[in-house]
A and B are shown apart, each in its own frame.
Chain A
């Protein structure tokens, strides 16, 4: 932001120095350019062509004049009025670069989709040539890289020639070689092929395989070999990328299923209570996360980016407390009547949902997206590693480790397992089963709260969100075998992966049906699920 402003100021100063009409050596019609920028889609297209020309050639003064224009149009920071236009960010007149305010009711032109792509390209081209900071030029190069076909010919050579930063210069030359696929020189084309094959993707494959129709493919054996080699390499890269992408998608879906189901597995496994309010506890976890975010905004804005981490204990404690209160006040009295407890938890689910609706409203909550859950990095082929999914996966792994440790390695966990296996015998040897129930219910609810936190960067958070998860969660718990953590993990991984494998073949609707049929068939064969707890359960 500041850098942009700096660019604007620098450009403004330069323009002011050279503003005298006689100083315009190349005769750039500045007023005409601004008028076109304020015109219709066609005029804006013409203006883009002029700006592209400036990025390629033209004198440095005109280029400096042009630098802020494309960005201002993209950001709608160009206010057009009868006297021309004003760059609203710096408050300068677009033509003279003298400070003035826009007169009357200024219009801010909206870019058509086609022009938007062009202007982004022009902005990057101008920045690559004229931005003062190396980082800005590197960012501009990244933008240009997205659409190598649209890079005006000669731009990269000119930029490389004037680039002072050695590393960036090398990057520009690399891109220039990639862009040389359609060049006349066969050697340059073969180099370009090798460069393209370094970053395999379906787009690259389409681009390269089109070359088999090129006259050079039949004429030159070297070129032919290079094309075939590049095609094969890209094909391998895509295959690897596809396998990784499927595994990653499956894992990410599995992590969501696991987070939604783990709390339920403990509650259902231990007490046989079908807790239909589990989805709402997930929702409350997400709302607590939002409240933490809002609190940080007021109390400690510098920590705002870390709200997802800071909210972990709070989301857990709040939902666990709700769970314990629920157990103590309601479910405790219904243990002998499982159907009643099912109805009671359903009522609780409706109550919580409507309570949240009345308090917060029905709209989707506005979450900050910190840098660690934004965007993704392309890895290989068409596989993009998205950070919000990775956050959920990592979160699920840590939750799994902690839950496993708690159940397997602590006295409390020992009690839970004892009660799960044989409630009466556990009571006989002095385990306070009622207290264990209460604490386990709290643990299960707290885990649901954590699920809400982990899901907030992926899904919309609103009062209904819990309902999406409850069926899937039960599916996982029943398939996994009631009350086993290992079963929950395996079932989540299995359902997640099978879903992801089926979806591209027969569509999302069929995937859901097929997975359900498979689970029904499996339960016919093994009603106790994947991993049955050995012991006398009733």
Chain B
């Protein structure tokens, strides 16, 4: 008993010493490791290396930008914000480790992080145990409601289902058959489970859909696109592809899809994780018309978006950020909203303690760059967001095809699966 305690104590202090002494040492990625009593600390859990780097990496900078904005106005509760960045390297267990380090050693007041649901699931027990607060900026599969996580983006009921409704409707393509293709992990599997439940509730027969999964990082989509064509040619109504592959599988799938001569008017693809950044490096002239659905699109109208785009471009230029200043994607805006929502809650609570901040969530509103006034209620930690359906244009971006009138109330638990 004594031995164990001593050993774990030694380990912990050793780790802490390594972490504090050398910011460059292997697993301790914290760059800003000096303990200070002045500024309040926020932590980022976004990968700067590995498969998710191109997408997640930019979110670090957005969080910093939002913190700078708040600091310029005098900070929160009289203290400025200091943003700590880690690199979990697209390695899911490392997200939990980084989160633990941030919460235990750095005593960060809130974490902003994770892209894939699998990384959120690994961080979840850590934030619950440490009673931390994680702001999660991605739309996701729902079916989760932790008091320690703020779900800034939409659950399926207010993102995927409206898009599928659109496709099934008169204005869309009256879709009758669905090919669901996803990466093999929790988000695509849960989304597809809910979709199947939804289809059943609409009286669609089981023969009208097909489900396929590919491993993470899968790139060779030749056979699968053949399968999609065969599925489409069976007849029985307009087919659509509901794509839940992630990371670099998205551009490789779209490239093969276009190369086999399939246009959006033949078989539209609803790419649930597809953002502007995935179209970089693709010839989108042949992809025009494919769809995505998010709570923000770069082409959103309104002064809030204009200001956001201008600030981001200026920030990229001023800080020499290694990402495009002209591309803005939903998770960036959601991360930006997250920081402001946290600051507002902390200011309202007059404290940085997680329980106090959580109590202040009810009734918060924020003018999101999407043009909607997003809001939180005391019922759960979900944020009510607008819904956009985007259509790929030939300039590697998305045109807004449809957007919701207001912000639908988020439904955490799906009745369909």
Q: Is the CB of A508 within 8 A of B214?
A: yes
Whether a CB of chain B sits under 8 angstroms from the CB of A404 is no
Residue of B nearest to A121 (CB): B265
Decide if B369 is an interface residue (CB 8 Å cutoff): no
Q: A113-B172, A120-B265, A460-B252 are in contact. Are A210 and B235 (CB under 8 A)?
A: yes
- Whether A357 pairs with B226 at a CB distance below 8 angstroms is no
Q: Does A110 contact B (CB under 8 A)?
A: yes
Q: Contact at B259–A206, with CB atoms within 8 Å?
A: no
Given A245-B226, A386-B260, are A464 and B268 neighbors across the interface (CB < 8 Å)?
A: no
Is the pair B289, A113 in contact by a Cβ cutoff of 8 Å? Answer: yes
Among B57, B171, B220, the one with the most A-chain Cβ atoms within 10 Å of its Cβ is B220
Known contacts A41-B171, A382-B233, A386-B260; is A249 also within 8 Å of B226 by CB?
yes
Of chain B, the residue at the smallest CB distance from A41 is B171
B34: CB under 8 A from chain A? no
Q: Given A363-B324, A382-B233: A512 and B53 within 8 A (CB)?
A: no
* B-binding segment of A51-59, A214-222, A326-334, A366-374: A366-374
Is the pair B222, A249 in contact by a Cβ cutoff of 8 Å?
Answer: yes
Which chain B residues border A382 with CB–CB below 8 Å? 226, 229-230, 233
A465 to B261, CA, bound (A): 25
| Chain B residues in 8 Å Cβ range of A110 | 391, 399-401
> B215 to A114, Cβ gap below 8 A?
no
B281, A364: Cβ atoms closer than 8 Å: yes
> If A461-B281, A508-B224 touch, does A384 touch B218 (CB 8 Å cutoff)?
no
Contact B280 A354 (CB under 8 A): no
- CA A369 to CA B254, docked complex, whole Å: 14
Interface range on chain B (Cβ under 8 Å from partner): 35 or more
Residues of B within 8 A of A384 (CB): 260-261
Tell me if B259 and A388 are in contact (CB < 8 A). yes
- B158-194 CB contact bits vs A (8 Å, 1 = yes)? 0000000001001111100000000010000000000
| Contact code string A324-354 (vs B, CB < 8 Å = 1, else 0) | 0000000000000000000000000000011
Chain B 295-326, CB within 8 Å of chain A: the 1/0 string?
00000000000000000000000000011100
C-alpha gap A256/B221 in the complex (Å): 13
Question: Which A residues lie within 8 Å of B149 (CB)?
Answer: none
Q: Which residues of B contact A76 (CB under 8 A)?
A: 393, 399
Inter-chain contacts of A113 with B (CB < 8 A): 167, 172-173, 264-265, 268, 289, 291, 391, 401
Chain B residues with CB under 8 A of A508: 212-215, 218, 223-224
CB neighbours (8 Å) of B324 from chain A are 363
A245 to B280, CA, bound (A): 29
Question: Is A364 touching B251 in the complex (CB atoms < 8 A)?
Answer: yes
A240 to chain B, nearest CB (A): 15
Q: A364-B54, A382-B233, A464-B50 are in contact. Are A512 and B215 (CB under 8 A)?
A: yes
Per the bound structure, the CA–CA distance linking A527 and B393 in Å amounts to 53
B266 contacts across to A, CB distance below 8 A: 146
Question: Bound state CA distance, A201 and B262, in angstroms?
Answer: 14
A-B contact pairs, 22 of them (CB 8 A): A41-B171, A113-B265, A113-B289, A116-B289, A201-B233, A202-B233, A252-B222, A357-B49, A362-B322, A363-B277, A363-B280, A364-B248, A364-B281, A375-B261, A382-B230, A386-B256, A458-B255, A461-B281, A465-B248, A500-B223, A504-B227, A508-B224
Interface pairs A-B: 4 shortest CB-CB: A202-B233, A206-B235, A364-B281, A117-B265
Starting from the known contacts A460-B255, A500-B223, 4 additional A-B residue pairs (CB-CB under 8 Å) come to A114-B171, A357-B49, A363-B324, A364-B248
